[in-house]
Every structure is written in C-alpha cells, then in structure tokens.
Chains A and B, each alone.
Chain A
C-alpha cells in the first residue's frame, strides 16, 4: 500500500536538516520507498510505499521514526522533537456519567477505547488541517470527521466517530455477523454480509458499525450532531481482511486493520483525539474513558551476538554501530557478555520476532549499497538426469521445429468446457478450478489438442498456411494425490496429414529415434478415417490425425518418453566400401498390405537390404526403391535381383 504525507507535517515531529529530496533518496535506500515527491504550495507531498509488515510506519509518525534512524547514516541530523507516543497519555476524565454498556470479546477486538465528547459544534476544520488532508488525498468534510482522518494519517491508527445520540439504548454489542444480515454504510451502500464479520449492534438491535471497514449511515455524524462518540479500536486482522475482500469494501481503514495494529497506540491516539476535539470543536469529554484491553503488551526480548550479524550480512559491523541503529529505531538494547539483548517496541511486535528480523533492521539502515558484490563459490550440485534431459531436448527440439518453419505457441494450461466438449472429451476427466476469473480457463487440459485446435481456428484467415507447435504440460487426474503432470509436444497444421507426418518424422530422425511405428487408435476427437497411434518400440507415445471433419491436423507426443529414447548420435555404421545396388519395385498397397507392413516385411526378409525409399505413388501403386549391399564384398546385380524376388514372394501373402 501507499500513503501520502507532507514534508511540513513530518517536521512537526522531526527536527532535521535534510531536504525532502534527501529524505526521498535516503529512505528509499534504507527504508520505505518514497516513490514520488510533489511540490504543493509551500509544502511537499511524499507518496510512500509501505510493505505489508510495516503498517507501523504508515503514518507521519512512522516515517519520522524511520528518518530518525536512517538520516544520520548519511550525515544528516534527525531527532524526534515530539514523540506523540509519550507526549499523549491516556488519563481519565473527571466525569462519572455512564456512557455506554459495551460487550467486546477480546478475540475480535484486542483493545476497545471510546469516550463521549459533548457540546461539539460542527464546522469546518482549521485551514492547516484542511490543507494537509487535501494534500494527502483526503477530502476535508468538517472538524469532527477531519479529526478521525487527521489522526489516522498522523499516527496510523484509524479512528471512527459516531453520533452518540443515534446509538440506541446506549449499548454496543460487538459480535460476529450472521450470513445475510444487512448494513447500510456511510457511503450509502447496502451490504449483505457474508457472515462472521465483526459488527456492532446497538441496544435497539440495529447494526451501527461494520467494524474496521466503515460505520453505518444510521449513526453517522451530521451537521446537527451535538454529542460524539470518539472510537479507537484494534481488531482481529484476519476477520477484517476477509470481510473487506468478500464485500468489496476496500476502505483505507480496512487496509490498516487487516495488517494488525499496535494496541499500545490506541491510548495516545485517543488522547491526541480528545485534544483535537477540544481545540477544533470545543468539545468536552462527558463520560469516563472506556478502555477494554485485557491482554496488555508484554515486550519481546531477542538475544543476538555480533557474529550473527556478520554471518548474514557478509561484512563485520561494530557493536557500537549496531546499538546506535537499533536504539534510533526504538529498540532498547543492552550489550553484555558479547551479546545484545534487544527489546522490541510495541509497534514492531508483529514484525520482529527472531534474530534474522533484528539483523534486517541493522543491515538495511547500514545500507545494502555499502555491501560488496561477491559471487559465492562454485559448487557441484547433485543433478537429476531426467530433468536435465528434459531441458536439453526441449531447447533442441524447439529450435529444430522453428527451422522447419513452425511457430511456437504457449497456451494457458486451462481450457473451457466448450473446448473440451468440442473434442468430445469427458469433462469429468479434467481437474476443475474452484475460483476462476473466466469460463475460458476453468479446466486443466489433459491434452494439448483443444488449445492447438483453437489456435488454428483463431488464426484462420490471417495466414494461409498454419503450422504451430507447443511444448507444455498436461494434467491427468489420478484417483488420489496430485495429477500426472507431463510435458507433451503438440503440432497442429491446417495443411494435410502427410505434411504433419513428414514433420514429426523429420523430428524422429533428428532425435535418432528409429523404432517408430503407427497403429490403430480409438481417440474420439480424431476422424476415424484419419487417425493413428504413434509407437516407439512397443510403447505408445502419441497420436496423429485429423480433428473430426475440421481442417485441423494434430499430432501429440509424450515428451518424456520421446527424449528418454532419443540420442545425440545415431548408432555408428562404418562406411561401406562395397557397391550399392538400387532396384525399383512397384507394388499395390491394400488395407492389409500397408506401406509400413511392407517395409517391415522387406527388412525382415533380406540380409542385404540397406534401406527403402518411397519413390512415387500413383493411386494405390507405390514405387519403392530398395538399396542392397553386402559388407564384405561387391554384390552382383543378379544377386540383388534374386533378393528382390525372394522379398516379393515373401510379401505376396500380406
């Protein structure tokens, strides 16, 4: 989150010789990032990023505290001249009028503080307050509402004000909401509560506050308000976040409360608030201060030795410097027996718990830019050969396919029910997302085919020829445990089956995979007249075919099985010195005598056959060219012809 404060306001608390730009530079290096500085009149607005663990610094005071620690490291003076945490003390009022009957369970509200302020006159705030609020992006409304906003910016503790006379039965019951309860908040929105939200019900059964998020309209301050209930609390942060997210009410107050606030700051905020009421609205407290704070802060102590700092930071820091930095940050430090005992201030209680947290404080204020750049020594790490193979071949295959002219795509791992339905796949085979931002990405894909088919469809018309590939994971549900996550290689084209088959065969050659064969498949989304299973040895490794009657042809291969058998070089065959004899043979192809079965048979029946090539095809007549040679002598043409006759006889029965 970001906050805006002004330089002038900062100097209410901080005495420094640093300019606003120096503060911007030094704080960004060692603390919160000051993302922008903007001159506004005679003041400067600083826009500052606050990390989620440092909500304590999200205020003028918080930034002043950071400045006090950081600026001296750059030779600048910086001193908290007014520390509101010690300056404003919550005393007690003199009145004995009873204000409220309160029920506030500690697990929902760790500190509950409230007081009635009487005889308030509603009017505009003093100019300085108006100007500061406006500079920080908050609209000035009237003196009462402005006090709550001013307190929040000054101290980082959101504050609420009720019209005391609108609280029915002068009773507040802080409780969890029931699902479906309704509340109309200050902004006029009526919200149906999800249930388990922290709310306050008054004595008449109305909800008057959606705690930590926004008050209800029914108890809001109005121009006729006379008695104000000033209200400062800390809440269960998880409940606040949940309600804020579920109701969509992302108020500034919620972004504070959901990070967990320091209970100890409630008191000073209350005291400061009462002072402001007196000054700006002539209000006088007319009730005792209600303060329900059952579990007070017990300071955490951490012991840490100088070498702990050196070990993590990588350079040695003087104990004196360590002590200085921590003290300026508000930690109490004792150094004895070569060991620091560091007491964590209340506002850092949710952030600093272990040694490493203390090291971080010192290291950052000392400045990371002061540390040298030192590469750690090289080490030999035990590798997983399977993972290694995956990456080596992934790269090799991608480059190969690119050079064949294919375009690589990377698709979402999730597909829509419509995409799955289009391919006649079973929806229940797919893992489903619980919370998806779009129906387009609701199911984890079990094959790359739906994604690739969509790619071809959506690019049709943009280019005449489409040839795409993707290497990505598929996720196949198992009866228990995580799904089978496997890399697969998919290729899709809008040309024809043999164009596609040629490409995957070129890939097999590139990977020196020789034991490839094609068999029948029953894959439902492929056209029954144009679909084949691809086998490597006896193992099915993928499929190829036409998607239904569409113009999309797709092949998919199990990437892991493929690369398991791949090799960089083919098995070496010495150069044959003897003559090779070529003979052509024209033969009819039939369903039972396919090209593949012919080649298999031919290879099985000849000791001299080197290779077979398809020379031409006319209807069902294929002309094959057979290359014969012996490894120990020159074959005669007669011998080769005899060999071919033997082959012909042997394949006649196919």
Chain B
C-alpha cells in the first residue's frame, strides 16, 4: 500500500466520523483547500523521479476525486439524519397581542360612508335631541299626523319653542334633511349622508328604543327617479355584492312624492324566490326589503329654502341594524346596546 492509498484510507475514516456539517467543511478545507493536503502532495511532484511522475499525478487526481465524492456522500447522509437539537414545537402560538373589537355598527357605518363618499356624498351630524319642526313639520308631517303622537316618538320634558314646537328625541335621520338644506342656505348641490342614532318608544324582541339609521339626500337641478335608482343600485352592488339587483316598489311616506320601498335581490335565491323548486328560506319572494325612499316632496324643499321649481331631489333611509342583518346575517339586536362583551368581543 503506497502513501496515496494510505491517505485515501485516512480521509475516508475522517469523513466517516463526521456528525456535523461544520466538521465536513473543516475536512474539506484540510484536504482540498489551497493549503490542504492534496495541494501539498502536488507540490512534492517535482521530487518524484521523471518516470514515476505521471503515475503519481494520476494517483493524486484519483485521490482528490474520491475525497470530493465521499465528502458529498457524507453531507447527504447527514442531511438525511434528523436534527439532534432539542425539540421545539413550531406550531405553538406566538406572543399574544391584545385583540380589541369594534362595534358592528361602527363597521357598517364606515363601510357605508366610504361607499357614498366615492360618489361625492358628505357625511353630516345633526342633533339627536330635536325640535318637532325638524322631525315632522319640515317633513310635511303636519300636527295630528300619527307619527307625531307619543306612541311613536319620545318627547322631552322641556319648554316648547314658540317657533319649532316641542323638544323630542328624533325618531328618524330625516330630521337632518331640513338642517342640511339650511346649512347650505337652500343652495344645492346637496349630497348628504346622515348616519345617526334615532329613538322610538318601542322595546321588544325585534325593536330597541335606540337604533341607527342612514339617510341619503341628493338635491340638484334635474334629479329624477332614474338617479335614485342609479344610486341605490350602485350602493347595493358595492355593499352587498356585484351580483345583487334592486327594485323599487310603490309605497307611501309623507316627505317623498313619489315614494318607494327599495328591495335588494336575495343572495340565496338571486331574486327567484325558490331554490330547486323549494321556497327560499331567507327572503320574501326573492327580494329583501332594504328601506324607504322617494323623490323629495316639494313642501320639504320649500321648508329648507330650496326652490322646488328649480331643483328636485331624492331621499333614502334605512336601518343600519337591518343592513347588517342582510349582509352578515346577524340579527341579535338585543345585544347591540346592552354592553354584553360575550357578543361585542366577536367582532
């Protein structure tokens, strides 16, 4: 066995003992590095007799190839072995960070505001404690109208105003219509979105004495029913989804003429009312009622200082709780305003 065979044997033993990738790297440097053993042997070639030089060179080359291969083999073997470091369960949860919650109403209000902002609507805030005038008379609901009696509206113990009547908690966001017209001094364009708390003396499984409404008001030259349809169609598609449709049905409100109820097509049966021949469980014949709407009554425009001969407009109102129910299917309104964290923390 000549020296080179002995060296190959030695290298093999060393490589075979390696248990860590670092050890292999060290052996690689010791043998194949610039100052490694192979290079040192190569430098010795000049001392080899001429006739043996060729064989010596060939042998060295074989040695180098063999070591290179064995290093690679050993690396592969090591990689295949499982890690020997202590077990860490990487599926454990990370450092906990606080998770708060927003109220469902807040989430809906933001979504709705953003949708209307994109088409130039301005969000406003008007009094919740209001005068009769803004909640009723300015909306073409004269004295004696059923909505004005105290079965439908909460009044406040306070002296009445000679001009504006009794003090009350506004039963709808429509009271903002006159306020917005006056803010703009009766000068359209008006593009209002009023989302606020409203109050009615009614508290049972499906009503809370306080609730949120969203009111849209658009007044300008040449505003017509098609514009109202266009806006509601835009809103329904943005808020509920691009595949949803709207329809208007005749209805009656004092402050709009004509008046409509607006429906959104059901997301389950897509307006058909049936699924595989069976009645849809979610909707009333294919459509879900969204809210009330109509063309602003000329009397309402006049009260706001807007000339009904020059301008026309539409108004739209709906309950936020209802919109949430329609979009997210959450209808536990009794939890909305009682501060029960078991409910509120879910959002």
Instruction: Report which A residues bind B (CB closer than 8 A).
Output: 28-33, 35, 51-54, 238, 241-242, 245, 258, 311-315, 354, 356-357, 359-360, 363-364, 368-369, 371-384, 387-388, 390-391, 395, 398-399, 401-414, 431-438, 441, 444, 451, 454-455, 458-459, 462-463, 466-468, 473, 475, 477, 480-483, 485
Contacts and interface: CB of A to CB of B under 8 A. Distances in A.
Given A379-B220, A454-B339, A29 B225 contact: no
Nearest to B103: A408
20 contacts: A28-B285, A32-B250, A245-B149, A313-B224, A314-B225, A368-B250, A372-B230, A373-B234, A376-B218, A381-B120, A398-B102, A403-B100, A405-B100, A410-B336, A433-B154, A435-B150, A437-B202, A482-B130, A482-B167, A485-B127
Interface stretch (B11-19, B42-50, B256-264): B256-264
Contacts of A481: 161
Interface in B181-235: 183-184, 188-192, 197, 199, 201-203, 209-210, 218, 220, 222-227, 229-231, 233-234
Given A245-B149, A375-B231, A315 B159 contact: no
A363 B106 contact: no
A401 B226 contact: no
Most chain-A Cβ atoms within 10 A of its Cβ — which of B100, B189, B191? B100
Contact of B103 (A35, A313, A410, A455): A410
Contact of A354 (B130, B230, B257): B257
Contacts of A312: 224-225, 258, 295, 312
A602 to B, nearest CB: 32
B229 A373 contact: yes
Nearest to A361: B258
B340 A458 contact: yes
A436 B202 CA distance: 9
A486 to B, nearest CB: 11
Contacts of B120: 378-381
Given A31-B250, A354-B298, A435 B201 contact: yes
A208 to B, nearest CB: 27
Given A52-B252, A368-B248, A398 B106 contact: yes
B233 A413 contact: no
Given A384-B124, A436-B201, A402 B336 contact: no
A413 B198 CA distance: 10
B258 A483 contact: no
Interface of B: 97-103, 105-106, 110, 113, 119-125, 127-131, 144, 146, 149-151, 154-159, 161, 167, 169, 183-184, 188-192, 197, 199, 201-203, 209-210, 218, 220, 222-227, 229-231, 233-234, 247-252, 257-261, 284-285, 295, 297-298, 312, 336-342, 344-345
A54 B230 CA distance: 27
Given A437-B203, A438-B203, A463-B341, A387 B124 contact: yes
A406 B157 contact: no
Most chain-B Cβ atoms within 10 A of its Cβ — which of A32, A391, A463? A391
A410 to B, nearest CB: 5
Contacts of A32: 250
A29 B247 contact: yes
Contacts of A473: 128, 197
B341 A407 contact: yes
Given A51-B251, A375-B230, A436-B154, A35 B284 contact: yes
A507 B161 CA distance: 41
Nearest to B155: A434
B103 A375 contact: no
B225 A368 contact: yes
B250 A408 contact: no
Given A391-B123, A408-B344, A242 B149 contact: yes
Given A314-B224, A454-B339, A473-B197, 7 more contacts: A363-B225, A363-B258, A376-B227, A376-B231, A384-B183, A412-B337, A433-B154
